[in-house]
Amino acid sequence: MSELLDLYQEVILDHRKRPRNFHSMENADFQADGHNPLCGDRVTVFLKMHNGIIEDVSFQGEGCAISIASASLMTESLKGKSSQEAEGLFGKFHDLVTDESTHREEGLSLGKLGVLAGVKAFPMRVKCATLAWHTLHAALAHENKMATTE
């Protein structure tokens, strides 16, 4: 179990140090800003859509390792997905990090996103892990308000 936790930590730190898709997107079809008032994390999610499919996704922001790693992993998992698939993935991810009845093994179906399953043990960090996802939801819904984890 210790080796698995070490691997999870390594993946999170790698995505924190070298976040994937970390840039603003010129001519994004949709974008939304998010803020976690508890720890100050901020993120902007950019989407390029074509026929309801996420053609490209990126983010910018600043925050803790979990927040940045989660946004980075999220962007990797969304390309080529429909809006409905993205919302479904958000639901599964949210359950993984918040629902006590969801087991770590169920995170395997989420691929690399499963490395964040351990966040559930640290309730204050759940909001860090879900910020980018709430912001994605706001972008997909074309909401003009600040997405928060509250």
Please write the tens of the pLDDT for every residue from 4-61. Answer: 566 678 888 999 999 999 999 999 999 999 999 988 999 999 999 999 999 999 999 9
List, as one string, the DSSP characters of the chain.
-HHHHHHHHHHHHHHHHS-TTBS--TT-SEEEEEEETTTTEEEEEEEEEETTEEEEEEEEEE--HHHHHHHHHHHHHHTT-BHHHHHHHHHHHHHHHH-TTS-GGGGGGGGGGGGGGGGGG-HHHHHHHHHHHHHHHHHHTT--S-EE--
What confidence category does residue 150 fall into, taking pLDDT thresholds of 50, 70 and 90? confident
As a whole number, the mean pLDDT across the chain is 89
Higher pLDDT, 146 or 89: 89
Domain at 2-148: CATH architecture: Alpha-Beta Complex (3.90)
Q: Is the dihedral of CA 30, 68, 91, 56 positive or negative?
A: positive
pLDDT of residue 147: 85
Average pLDDT score over residue span 116-142:
92
Q: Exposed, middle or buried, 94 (CB in 10 Å: 0-12/13-18/19+)? A: middle
